[in-house]
Structure 1
């Protein structure tokens, strides 16, 4: 039985959102990756075993940076 693969990406903390999403997708291409401003409730809410949420700080005129370690769920 194979392992499910990587489930968290602490190395992308403070990265720009799109390179972080690319890294996660390269590690786990089968997952859905969504980016959301920090504090946003995902749709659908709750744990999703096939999803990674990338939360970023939203600031006008600034590159959006990952502010929460992305994890499967």
Structure 2
């Protein structure tokens, strides 16, 4: 006669799918290894034309790759710590605070 093996039940853990796509907020606030605070968002450039906003962002983050995103354009959901997207309105002015990603 065969003995029954009781099933081992492991506790189920909920994983938020968004946590797999984006690093936690604040996790990139320091440059790796240096401990120096790093700016990750630029609310002060909202309302400026894209070229002026890019200049101000590059003052804080010289290696930033700036992408100007016109209204209604799609963007990828990947995270890139060297990229800053400027979402602009129809007049070419920054519509919302740009951030690293």
- TM-score, normalising length: structure 2: 0.60
Bigger proportion of residues as strand:
1
Whether 1:69 aligns to 2:101 is no
Mean Cα deviation higher: 16-25 or 3-12: 3-12
Q: Which runs of 4+ in 1 moved over 3 A?
A: none
Question: Take 1:71 and 1:38, find their aligned partners in 2: how far apart are those partners?
Answer: 17
- Larger CA Rg, structure 1 vs 2: 2
Pairs aligned (count): 68
Q: Where do 5+ consecutive residues of structure 1 fail to align?
A: none
Question: Which blocks of at least 5 consecutive residues in structure 2 are unaligned?
Answer: 1-33
Q: Secondary structure at the match of 2:93?
A: coil
Which structure carries more relative contact order (alpha carbon 8 Å, separation 6+)?
A: 1
8 A Cα contact 1:38 1:67, kept in partner = no
2: CA distance, partners of 1:66 / 1:40: 14
Which residue does 1:27 correspond to in 2?
A: 60
State the match for 1:13 in structure 2.
Answer: 46
Partner Cα distance (1:27, 1:38) in 2: 26
